[in-house]
Structure 1
């Protein structure tokens, strides 16, 4: 299609010159009006005066029109109007801008991001008139920030709205994404990429059908980064609980650096502990900070910082929560507790056993493991639960069937964490109650076609139902019985610790499990509200491009989720080669040459000025009245 565009729109500022032209016309001096008794003598004088003039001035309106035409034509000539050849398809351009964390790195007196914006704007100015541009951002996943458009102002607004994220970049994926949208389009196509070359994922961008025109910004820089983080609850030599922050610090510097790791309360900024270490060039150094903790400190928000500050600030900070104490409360509910069960649980150093009698206590701790013996209430509390030898009837979505005699165990779930490091071979049962599975239940122990132990398959917690009565078997005499109970306790501890562990990284589609099957109502990120997908008992966060704490709100309270960068490859700011296939003549698409109309408008302006001057200055032959 054809069209007219302006190669230098700033030239239209010359239209301001029309204002003084119009003002001069409006402000010309006007003759004073005087009343006389008769006009006859005045008309004779006027006719005689006109007859003696050598020329007659043009009407004032014509002069104004010529001057305005000259001003408008001059402004258009300065704006360089151009016309595309009729029938040519517009050039389609995909502009991919790297928005990964490394783009925020300092580069002298500026940043890589400012250099990237300047480069992108320069590329837009260099495009042919009428070119349609699609803007794509490249961080953990590609995103279209502006669809194909020839509106340069809209593109400039979309470009100005871009910000570098705190996540890894996958430039190769973004280039493939843009190429897939360019490939089916007719006419000339160009794939432009602006990046700093610090690629964390996917390697160098490439495409077999379209050449990549790469603009690289920034220079190599030394950097020190937090690349790993873990918090564990343990005991000091005196048996007191403490939280230990384990960090791995990586150096991308050519000189040794004295690093300081500080742990602060995220709410009050109070310093809780710090460690120092000398980090040699290119080394990866583990650092640890021990924090004394009370039971009430579990879940407390922490901010961990690395100093000295350097080229990239995003990898000098991480966020975490204090894990729960190393031991977990275990509440045993039974009319007459089986001594084998009580002895095995009481001997576990990671379990704090409480015998609760025949009823579930109202003050059951939130993080407790509930063990039910020979009972299974219709409604189980929202806790990790182990049910042993339940009576016939419904239980946690399963159905406990009538007792059968002398069942023989034929298989068990060797890959399930509750049955690790043990065997059920040689266990003899005098009787057991088989289980009928629900749609979500999973068999753990079988006796032929009968299920003797199962996972209830609940979404918000683990409920293990075992139809075996320890007193009606020789299982308590086997080591596997104690190992099984300890595995159940350890699984409950792991699930409890996972709620506070810093397991999500920026850019992840983070699925956050909520307590007791609650439904999310809102998510607040470091920079405001965050889009999310609500699931039963969980929320999937839509945008986690910034590091920090994300608060998932639900009717049952608030769940605090730390999300961190922690990327060794993204933190490596040193100069790295990018092997790209250069554009060739075979790849290049012919671009439609614009036909400039500048000379035509310049000629029109000159003719208008000349016509106006000639009309005002050319003398005319005098005429005499007849």
Structure 2
């Protein structure tokens, strides 16, 4: 509204702004203080509407069985938990069924019957136990019976990729249990043992250890695997979030690994970074470390008096952390802050795995999807099967527009070929609330509000009359040339 008024103010003559709306403005304040005459024409009728306005799907656990005299033991099993909010914007209570099913399947995985009072926003939880084949599949949530606005009676989600985060700990070579003399930069270190213990202390992780060659040549590695590399810095390693420990001298993910620092004294660390929250490095002593020179000062995570020893090497598609020292050559593993540091890294990787995208997928907004840096030949398919243009840069695939709700599918080729399903939802209270509101102009301004039903027709269509007349001429012409000739009478006969 402000843009239209500003454009018209530059023109001469009689000026006015005409706004056609359903009467439920998302921002009624746009009519306040209008400096030009504004004519608001309302269309449509008020209807009662119920909608799914929030959806969140997570992986949890449920206790199965109960210990008792019969000798039964309880155990925890993985469970998919879908959290929805159903809102009733109508004037009457709504008795609806909320159902959950997989995409392209008719079997109902979960269902609840709820009574939503007028103006109420009711939370609903649906659960089911997934199998490994269900991971990353699409989920469809529906309200039934449908109402006058069926678009917001459906929401979409995705089955999380399991309750345990896969972790791969790769060493540059054999001998993770290093000798007492310690490891030089670029060599497998004794710190791998401490890192493995800290990773395994999280019950929601599945840790695999191996050589670096096993990681780089591993087929079918989960793209969300948290990767820890000790003593090496390969370009574009597979997997998700990344931790590199004790890299060799040279360039490593944009950071220059420089000379060795003997007994560096820690002075500060970035307490605002999520990887270093809830911890302190006071009293941590290092025997040796490598000086790191990141591309920007904002990438420094841990600083010593002699130089930086830990940096941020994140990209658009993954979070990366570089430690320029062997944790086994320090007393850090003996302190609680080391376990907190590893847990923070795991929590970040778990959050990235749960979402799989860089932001919420909402209709009408660009869709950003994390893909491997080596991905090529990207193909995007929309909810109706239409092909979409996909732009790729720095490990992020972008679809410029998501015009409708549903599942958007991306597939790519390359060393880490794969595909992903991303749900896009309306889930908007402002869009689903069809309750009419009074349109008042406060603070001055000339605003006239009228209904479209009372407006005269600006154009009367007469084409159908012309078409009917043309059809009459065609029929007459056909009749005239195909009529049966009259027989000749005596006085009409030609003279001999």
TM-score range, shorter chain: 0.7 to 0.9
1:541 aligns with 2:393: no
Partner of 2:110: 273
2:362 to 494, 505, 508: 505
TM-score, normalised to structure 1, is 0.61
Larger radius of gyration: 1
Closer, same or farther: CA 415–208 of 1 in aligned 2, 3 Å: same
1:438 to 295, 315, 335: 295
| Matched position secondary structure for 1:410 | strand
Task: Give the Cα separation in 2 of the matches to 1:566 and 1:544.
Answer: 14
1:179 aligns with 2:33: no
Partner of 1:488: 345
Q: Is the 8 A contact 1:243 1:322 kept in 2?
A: yes
Q: CA deviation at 1:251?
A: 1.5
Q: Is the 8 A contact 1:196 1:217 kept in 2?
A: yes
Partner of 1:550: 408
| Matched position secondary structure for 1:189 | coil
Closer, same or farther: CA 418–244 of 1 in aligned 2, 3 Å: same
Q: CA deviation at 1:216?
A: 1.2
Task: Give the Cα separation in 1 of the matches to 2:30 and 2:212.
Answer: 65
Partner of 2:197: 343
Q: CA deviation at 1:384?
A: 2.1
Partner of 1:40: none
Q: CA deviation at 1:317?
A: 0.6
Task: Give the Cα separation in 1 of the matches to 2:268 and 2:8.
Answer: 56
1:234 aligns with 2:60: yes
2:16 to 190, 212, 217: 190
1:466 to 310, 319, 323: 323
Closer, same or farther: CA 407–347 of 1 in aligned 2, 3 Å: same
Closer, same or farther: CA 301–500 of 1 in aligned 2, 3 Å: farther
1:559 aligns with 2:385: no
Q: CA deviation at 1:584?
A: 8.2
Alignment length (residue pairs): 411
The 5 A counterparts of 1:24-423 are 175-201=1-27, 203-206=29-32, 208-237=34-63, 238-334=75-171, 335-337=174-176, 338-357=192-211, 359-361=213-215, 362-363=217-218, 364-378=221-235, 380-423=237-280
Structure 1 gap segments, 5+ residues each: 1-174, 586-626
Q: RMSD of the TM alignment (CA)?
A: 2.6
1:398-431 alpha-carbon deviations (Å, 9 max, x no partner): 2222221121111111111111111111211122
Task: Give the Cα separation in 2 of the matches to 1:284 and 1:501.
Answer: 28
1:583 aligns with 2:451: no
Closer, same or farther: CA 267–453 of 1 in aligned 2, 3 Å: same
Moved more, 226-235 or 268-277: 268-277
Closer, same or farther: CA 501–289 of 1 in aligned 2, 3 Å: farther
Task: Give the Cα separation in 1 of the matches to 2:358 and 2:309.
Answer: 34
1:492-542 alpha-carbon deviations (Å, 9 max, x no partner): 111111216992212223333323353574533234344555434333333
1:37-91 alpha-carbon deviations (Å, 9 max, x no partner): xxxxxxxxxxxxxxxxxxxxxxxxxxxxxxxxxxxxxxxxxxxxxxxxxxxxxxx
Closer, same or farther: CA 502–542 of 1 in aligned 2, 3 Å: closer
Structure 2 gap segments, 5+ residues each: 64-74, 177-191, 449-496
Q: Is the 8 A contact 1:196 1:218 kept in 2?
A: yes
Q: Is the 8 A contact 1:533 1:539 kept in 2?
A: yes
Q: CA deviation at 1:445?
A: 0.5
